[in-house]
Amino acid sequence: MAAAKTAAMEAATAAGAAADAAEKVVMDEEAHKASDEASYAVAKDAALRARKASDAAAAANTAAQVATTVAAARDQRDIARMKQLEAETERDKAVTYAGMVAEAQRLLDAAAAEARDLAAAKTAAMEAATAAGTAADAAEKVVMDEEAHKASDEASYAVAKDAASRARKASDAAAAANTAAQAATTVAAARDQRDIARMKQSEAEAERDKAVTYAGMVAEAQRLLDEAAAEARALADAKDAAMMAAVAARTAATSARAASDKVAELLGASSDTAIAADAAADAAEAAARAAEEASMRAQDDGTSADAMVEQRTAEDKKTEAETMLADAQELQRRAQVAHDAAVRQQEERDLAAARDAAKSYKEEAQGHYESAMGKAAMARERATAARAAANKAMRARTDYVNADTYADVAEMAADEAEAARDAAKTAAEAAAAAYMAALAAMTSDEAEAERDKAMAAN
């Protein structure tokens, strides 16, 4: 009985293990069931049947354990063993069909891996072709950038240009390999074209680096030429600037001397202002000489740095000369102001003197006129008396001839006196007009001209 019970328990345990195994393989492939749904369904049904058989074996084992006779225990043992066999059969079926699901998934995974590897190879080929194209573009750009400078290093430019051409050929080959890779239907074929594209990429990049190196040599040669040209321009500019500063300093010194001479002319060389102006002109002259000497040194210099030192010296001396010129011109301005004031004072004196003289001549002419008037009146009285005497002599039949002659002479004298009176009047009026014009004159020259008219009227 004990043996039967033990056998029943072992059968139930084995059936349970078979059911567990069936369920596990089904659970393991649950995530992959879409790869073979029919097989998965069979495997799952087999696992369910295995679990039912296991449950039946467990029930038989339970009954065997409570059996009181050997025959009853053996009956339940046999049931447990049968259900064990059923469970194990269903487990094997579940394992078989779950394996079918796993194989289907493996095939799917393999196909996906193939597709991924194919896509990766195509992508790598495309990346290599793109990189090769970028390298060729860069090579051509550096060559184009230096085309305008090729004369500075024609040999290096030729090497760079040839490298750019080779980079473009490698790029074209990489593009062709990429095109073939994209059309490939197997991973092997795509990888072969990918490898070609990568090799051409390396060639293009190597040629790009070569083009960059030799284009850099052209750029460096041009830089050296540009520096030399810039140095030549800077040297010439410094020499020109120094010369211009010297010329300006000399102009300032000349103008300062002219201003000094003008001050001496206006105020006299011994005046304080003239002495100060002369000192300013001397200082301007010294600055001009220093600027000219600096300019001459600049013309002899061989570097722009040295010439610029002399340029600055010349410009400083130019500033000094112009400062002295400004001082001299200010002194000239002051001298002119003082001179103009003195001229105005003298003008005022001359104007007053001319007016006074014109007045005197006017009064003198008036006196002449009044005197002529008196003489003319007296002469007329005499002529009138003489004519009356002649008339009386004629009536009296006395010495009429003599009286008539005398009367004619007296009348002629009266006519002359009256003519002189009229001339004196005209002269007096002219002198008076000249006097009034002298009063209205704004300058001594105008007043003196009117004075002379008044004097001439006398």
The DSSP line for 30-42 is GGGGGG-HHHHHH
Mean pLDDT along residues 180-190: 93
Residue 132 in contact with residue 197, Cβ under 8 Å?
Answer: yes
Supply 76's token pair. 């339940």
Q: Is residue 226 very low, low, confident or very high in pLDDT (cuts 50, 70, 90)?
A: very high
The residue assigned the tokens 């130019």 is 318
Q: Are the C-beta atoms of residues 264 and 333 closer than 8 Å to each other?
A: no
Q: C-alpha dihedral over 282, 284, 290, 291, to 10 degrees? A: -160
- pLDDT, position 104: 84
Contacts of 393 (CB under 8 A, 6+ apart): 399, 400, 402, 403, 404
**3-class DSSP state for residue 220?**
helix
Is there a domain that residue 391 lies in? no
Which pLDDT band, with edges at 50, 70 and 90, does 435 fall under?
low
Is 133 contained in some domain?
A: no
pLDDT attached to residue 444: 67
**Residue 263, domain member (yes or no):** no
Q: How many CB atoms lie within 10 A of CB 232?
A: 11
347 found inside a domain: no
Residue 98 in domain:
yes
With bands split at pLDDT 50, 70 and 90, how would you rate the model's confidence at 218?
very high
Average pLDDT score over the chain: 87
What is the tens place of the pLDDT at every residue in 45-91?
Answer: 999 999 999 999 999 999 999 998 999 999 999 999 999 999 999 99
Listed residue (103, 131, 203, 117) closest to 163, CA to CA: 203
- Is there a domain that residue 83 lies in? yes
State the total domains in the chain: 1
Counting every residue written for the chain, the total comes to: 458
State yes or no: pLDDT of 409 exceeds 90: no
Question: How many angstroms separate the CA atoms of 30 and 45, rounded?
Answer: 13
Q: What is the mean pLDDT of residues 199-223?
A: 96
Rounded CA gap, 101 and 99, in Å? 5
* DSSP conformation class of 149: G
| Residue 313 reports pLDDT greater than 90 | yes
Per the structure, the complete domain to which residue 100 belongs is given by 2-118
Residue 132 is assigned to a structural domain of this protein: no
| pLDDT tens string 136-152 | 999 999 999 999 999 99
Per-residue confidence at 342, pLDDT binned at 50, 70, 90?
A: confident
The pLDDT, as a whole number, for residue 372 is 66
Cβ distance 375 to 425 under 8 Å?
A: no
Q: What is the pLDDT of residue 265?
A: 92
In a domain, residue 129? The reply is: no
Report yes or no: 94 and 166 within 8 Å, Cβ to Cβ: no
Band of pLDDT at residue 380, cut at 50, 70 and 90: confident
Per-residue exposure over 338-358, b if at least 16 CB sit within 10 Å of its own CB, e if not: eeeeeeeeebeeebeebbebb
What is the pTM for the complete model shown?
Answer: 0.45
Lowest-confidence segment of 28-37, 256-265, 287-296, 435-444 by average pLDDT = 435-444
